[in-house]
Structure 1
Amino acid sequence: MAQSTPLRALCVSFILLLLTCAGCVGGSRHGDGDVDPDADKDLTSAGDVDNDTPLDLITDFNSDTPLPDGVECLEGMARCAADNMSIEVCTRNGVFGANIACPNGCSAGKCLTEASPGSCPLAFDLSLGTAVSGNTKDAALSSHVWSADCTAAYGDATTGPELWYSLDVPYTTAVEVTLNPLSATYFGVYLRGNCSDTKTEVARACDGNLSVSTPTVIPTILAKGQYYLAVDDFAEAGNGTGAFDLRVDEVITPTCHGQVPGLLDLSSGMATAVGNTASGSSGTRWQTYDCPFNLDTVGNEMIYAFALREPRQVRVTAVATAPDTSKLGLYMRTDCEERYSQTQCAYDDGTGRDASFTATLAPGAYYLFVDDLASTQDEPQEFELLVEVL
């Protein structure tokens, strides 16, 4: 019996050692002896998920998942980006940061393997003069991308699904886009030169209505090329999805200040025109305070129009040819009828300086006015007009 005492003491020491080591499992110790329960979750170390991350290792983001304080997400979580064309992956520091492009769109935090009919990559065909019918409930995605001008003006964004249509325009022409709602749905409509690039937006209708058979009409001038038109809805904020008819018609260029603007086709990179202000009308004049000239163009003007389907730098030059000493005014507007839409102006003083300006322009229609300074200061003149895409 006396020999069993050392053995008993050895067993007790071994048990105490096991209990002590058990406290080390699952976390690291701090100086005060407390255990950090999250030490095995590397949420604070640097590092991002790169584009080679296998998609089957990424889980859908669930907003109901409990997260530690100060952590936006857990590593491996993913969510669709705002435009639903990429996924945002949670990095090891607990925030969404890395992006993986989804060419066919994103749904439930995963890239789609195929494009859906009516989506941006697989837009439906639309021809000039032919109506099509659609329903936004049939759209597979919502890109949540809405014109900044519209959002600023109305405060809402089209968060519902949209259908995309592809339109080929064979030459520069005036058109009317008409959306006829068949459901009491608040629709938005926007037209782009590139469906995935908001900077190519040519025209839009921000204030669709809820009235069945009350159409939304967008008049504009389109340059030669391919366009993409989206019919979007405002989800529950605008009565949800709905049916519609859509068409784009070529129309006669509307009159402006008593004349029909001459259309300039810039598809080759430049366009020229020859005219005489004596053949024009005296219906408008430039905004004098926007121009560095203490003169007023109260004589006859000739009006021209051109369009761009993407942002471009453009140079416009007007030269008086007969008499070549004639004074000449040149100015540009985004709305033919509205003086206050003037964006540029230039002046040929009759001493050899051409009226010319260069500007970087957004997509859309522009109107050029070649104007004279009335008989008290000058006389009508023949001129040459040159528009160049730089």
Structure 2
Amino acid sequence: CAGGAGSPDRVYAMDVPTRSRMRLRMQSTYDGALHVRSDCANPSSEIACNDDHQDTRHSMVVSTLDPGRYYIFADGFSTSEQGDYSMRADLAPVAGGTAPADRCAAAGTVTAGQDVELDTFAAADDYQASCGGAGAPDTVYRLEVRERSRLRATLQQSEFPAVLYLQSTCGQQASEVACAAIGAGGQTELDTNVQPGTYFLVVDGAAQDNFGAARLEVQLENLQALETACRSAPRLRPGRTVTGDTGTSSDRFQATCAGNAQSNDLVYRLQLTRRSRVVITSEQQYDGALYIRRDCTDVTTEVACNDDEGDNRHSRVETTLDAGTYYVFVDGFANNSQGSFTLDVEVSRAQ
């Protein structure tokens, strides 16, 4: 990796007494690289190599190693990267079992609005879900929900590809409420509606060697407040241009596109009396997004989503919909994209 890593390097020996998980982290002032060999002078004995972990100033290698001596190289990309660096090596039993919040009996606690710093590196593989987690270390967190709510949970700055799942009975896959796969860096969130009660959030790896540190964020929103916004949504009428400004609102709804559309939003209602072809376009003074749902508060009912149509000041969704009521959301890309817009709707008979 790392363009051959032909830059100046330093090598370190590490003895592994028993079969273990290994994690190497390096932070550098240059475009660094890490690689590991079982035979110092033999390039073909390389076990793992990493150039960039989240950015060019960080590298990370994880693996499961048998007992023996290994050689760790602090290196650089291609042939001319060099400078200062710091490096840390960690070993943990391959079976885990020593991490905080490792099992249901010792579950940690997560509270909406209060982040949890976690690390599954030394955790055991106790659980799995419908979207993954078999064979990977996991940690579990108890969550109390006091009112009917929309739950959003995500992993920020995750070192590993993960799955995040919610159970009503800890450790019982049959009680699963929702499950989401989350990429390294935390790009996807678990988003579901829940009734009052006690729940358990499990942070798991997507595969056997997927473990590491992350920050768990949880938000709860009162569903009654969201439903009130949906009931009062203005009706869209084909042929009539709507003007608005999302700066007058807040971030209440999210989408599958546009960086999850976690910006201020406004919602409108579209009534169709028959199966129709629907084209909705918007022009914004910001990086906007458009999406449609069948159920206003249920993210799983999204039927269309668009971020940019030609440029980031225009959005367009085109789809064929059955008769019924739909909800159209004017939103913004990722965070803090808001401002004025115009919205147009065209409805014609479906072919």
Structures share fold, TM-score greater than 0.5? no
More strand by share: 2
TM-score class, shorter-chain normalisation, is: 0.3 to 0.5
TM-score (norm 2): 0.38
Computing the radius of gyration from Cα coordinates, the structure with the larger value is 1
More helix by share: 1
